[in-house]
Structure 1
Amino acid sequence: MAGHSHWAGIKHKKGKADKQRSKLFSKLSREITVAAKLGLPDIEFNPRLRSAVQAAREANMPKDNILRAIKKSQGPSEDSNYEKSQYEGFGPGGVAFIVEALTDNKNRTFTNLRLLFEKNNASLGVEGSVSYQFEEVGHIKIKKELITEDEIFSHAIEAGAEDCISGEEHHEIYCKKEKFNEVRVSIETKIKELSFSGIIWKPKNTVSINKEVFEKIINFIDLLEDDEDVQNVYTNFDIDENILKELEL
C-alpha cells in the first residue's frame, strides 16, 4: 500500500479523535477561506474551493462551518496573508517526504518542521531534493457504492484519465495534471458526489519498508500533521498488506 496524504485509508486512530477532528476542521476551514478569497466564493466557478469543500464534506464537517469559512473570505481576515509553501526531505528508512503548508509566517513553519525532522531521525532538504521522485497528478476519489468498477473504469479512460484503481471503499482515478479539470468535469457528468478531487504528489517509485520503520513513519506523520500550518503530507513508502493486517489498522 503506497503512502500519501490521505491517511483515512490506513485508519491509524490513536484514541484522540476529538482533538484530531477539531484540528482537521480548522485546517479545512483555512483552506476553504483562502480558496474562496483567491477566487470566486462559488464552488461552480472555483476548482480549488470545490476541492476544499469536497474534502470538508468527506471529513463530515458541518455545513454551517463550511458556509462560515466561505463567508469569512469576503471580509477582512487574518487568513488573507496565508500562502502555500512546500518542504522536502527524508524520513525514517530513507522514505521521501513532501510537506505542503498554508502559513502566514514561513520562518516559523520552517523552524518548526526542521526541529520535527531533526528529532525523528529525518533530514529536511532543499527545494527539489525529493520532489523529482514524485509527479503532480490529478486525483479523484469516488465511493464504491455509487458506481460499478467496470463503469467508472470505462468512463475514466474515455475522459482522458491514465488509471483507475478500485480499493475497498473508493474508486481512485489518476490523470495528467494538465488534463485534471477536463477529466473532473467529465466524471462529474456521471457522478456528482466526489469524495475528493485535486492535484497531489504521486510517487514515481516506492520504497518498501518493514513493520518497525512503518511505525516510526506513522508517528512522524502524526507529528507533522499536528502542526497547525501543515496541510498535506506525501511520502513514497510501500507497505505489505499483511503487515497492516498484523497491526490491525
Structure 2
Amino acid sequence: MAGHSKWANIQHRKGRQDAKKAKFFTKAAKDIILAAKAGGGNPEDNSTLRLAIQKAKAVNLPKDKIENAIKKGTGELAGGDIWEFMYEGYAPGGVAVLIEVATDNKNRTVAEVRHILGKHGGSMGEAGCVAWMFDKKGVLVFNGEKYTEDDVMEIGLEAGAEDVLDEDGTLTVHTAPSDFMAVQKAFEDAGYEFESAEVTWVPQNLIEVDVDTARKVIRLMDALEDNEDVQNIHVTADFPDEALEGMD
C-alpha cells in the first residue's frame, strides 16, 4: 500500500485529527501564508493558494483566520516571515524520510527535527541523500465504497491523470504536478468529493518492514507531527496493518 494514503489512514484510525486540531490550524495557516507570499492573495489567480485554502477548510480553519493568513502572506499584516525547507534522513530500519517544514527560525527547527530523529532511532542526512527516492506528484484520494475504480479512472485519465490505484478500498489518483489542478477540476465538475487532494512527495518504491520497525517509524512520525513547524512527512515504509494493534 502506498505510504501517502496508508499514513493518512493510520492518522485517522489513531484519532489524531481531533487531538491535534490546534496544530492543524497552525500548519494550514502557514500553507496559506506561503502560497500568498509566493503568488499573491487572489485564489482565482493563484492555484497554490486556492489549494491551501481548500486544505484549510478541510480542517475547519475559521474564515477570519484564513483571511488573516492571506494578508500576512501579502504583507498587509505582520507575521508573514516564514520560509520553507526540506530535511532528509533515515527512520528506524533504514526507511528513508523527507520532512517538509515551514518556519520563522531555521536554526531552531533544524535542531528540533534532528533531536526528534535521534530520540526515535533515526538520523538526519545530507541534502540529496534520499530525495531521489521520491517523485513529486498530484495525489487525489477517494472513498472506494462511494465511487468505482472504473468511473474514477475514466474521469481521471481523460483529464490527464497518470494512474489510478485501488488500495484496500481507497482509490488514489496520481498526476504530474502541472496537471493536478486540471484533474482536480474535472472531478469537481463531475460532483466527486475528495478524501484529500494535494501535490506531495510519493515514494518510488516501498520497503516492507516488520511490525516492530513499523511501530518505531509511526512513533517517529507522530513525534515529528507534534512539532508545529513540520508540515508534511514522507517515508518509504510499507506499514503492515498489525503494526496498529495495541497502539493508542
Task: State the TM-score, normalized to the length of structure 1.
Answer: 0.86
SS at match of 2:98: strand
2:166/2:172 contact within 8 Å kept: yes
Task: Report if the CA contact (8 A) 1:207-1:237 is conserved.
Answer: yes
Contact 2:161–2:173 (8 Å) recurs in 1:
yes
Task: In structure 2, list runs of 5 or more residues that go unmatched.
Answer: none
- Structure 2 CA distance, aligned partners of 1:15 and 1:197? 19
Identity, % of aligned positions: 35
In 1, Cα distance between equivalents of 2:15 and 2:194: 27
Aligned-residue CA RMSD in angstroms? 2.7
Please report how far the alpha carbon of residue 3 of structure 1 lies from its aligned counterpart in structure 2 after TM superposition: 2.4
Work out whether 1:88 is the aligned partner of 2:88: yes
Residues of 2 paired with 1:42 and 1:169: CA distance?
36
Q: What is aligned with 1:121?
A: 121
Judge conservation of contact 1:163–1:173 (CA < 8 Å) in 2: yes
The letter of the residue matching 1:89 is G
Aligned to 2:202: 202
Q: Which has the larger displacement, 211-220 or 184-193?
A: 184-193
SS, match of residue 4 in structure 1: helix
Report how many residues are paired.
246
Q: In 2 relative to 1, CA 60–142 (structure 1 residues): closer, same or farther, beyond 3 Å?
A: farther
Matched, 1:76 2:102: no
Query: In structure 1, what is the equivalent of residue 54 of structure 2?
Result: 54
What amino acid is aligned across from residue 201 of structure 1 in structure 2? W
- With 96-105 and 182-191 compared, the bigger mean Cα shift is at 182-191
In the aligned structure 2, how far is the partner of 1:141 from the partner of 1:150?
15
1:168/1:21 Cα in 2 relative to 1: closer, same or farther (>3 Å)?
Answer: farther
User: What is residue 139 of structure 1 aligned with on the other side?
Assistant: 139
Q: Distance in 2 between matches of 1:51 and 1:15?
A: 22
Partner of 1:66: 66
Written as runs of structure 1 = structure 2, the 5 A alignment for 1:1-249 is 1-4=1-4, 7-10=7-10, 11-13=12-14, 17-18=18-19, 20-74=20-74, 75-79=76-80, 81-144=81-144, 147-167=147-167, 170-191=170-191, 193-241=193-241, 243-244=242-243, 246-247=245-246
Could you tell which deviates more after superposition, 8-17 or 170-179?
Answer: 8-17
**How far apart are 1:54 and its partner, in Å?**
2.0
**What's the secondary structure of 1:66's corresponding residue?**
helix
Code of the residue aligned with 1:205 in structure 2: it is N
Q: Which amino acid aligns with 1:106?
A: K
| Structure 1 CA distance for aligned equivalents of residues 17 and 240 of structure 2 | 26
Of the structure 1 ranges 33-42 and 204-213, higher mean CA displacement relative to structure 2 is found in: 33-42
Query: How far apart in 2 are the matches of 1:17 and 1:183?
Result: 30
- How far 1:147 moved relative to its partner? 4.2
State which drifts further: 232-241 or 95-104. Answer: 232-241
Q: Which moved more, 1:25-34 or 1:173-182?
A: 173-182
Give the secondary-structure state (helix, strand or coil) at the position aligned to 2:139. Answer: strand
Query: How far apart in 2 are the matches of 1:5 and 1:232?
Result: 13
CA distance in 1, matches of 2:61, 2:6: 16
Structure 1, 59-68 or 127-136: larger mean CA deviation: 59-68
Does the Cα contact within 8 Å between 1:5 and 1:233 map onto a contact in 2? no
Q: Are the aligned partners of 1:164 and 1:171 in contact in 2 as well (CA < 8 Å)?
A: yes
Residue 141 of structure 1 and its aligned partner are, at CA, apart by 2.5
TM-score by length of 2: 0.86
Report the alpha carbon displacement of residue 25 of structure 1 after superposing the two structures with TM.
Answer: 0.9
Alpha-carbon distance between aligned partners in 2 of 1:5 and 1:107, rounded to the nearest angstrom:
31
Q: Secondary structure at the match of 2:3?
A: coil
Q: Secondary structure at the match of 1:138?
A: strand
Tell me the distance in 1 between the aligned counterparts of 2:18 and 2:192.
29
**Structure 1 letter corresponding to 2:79:** E
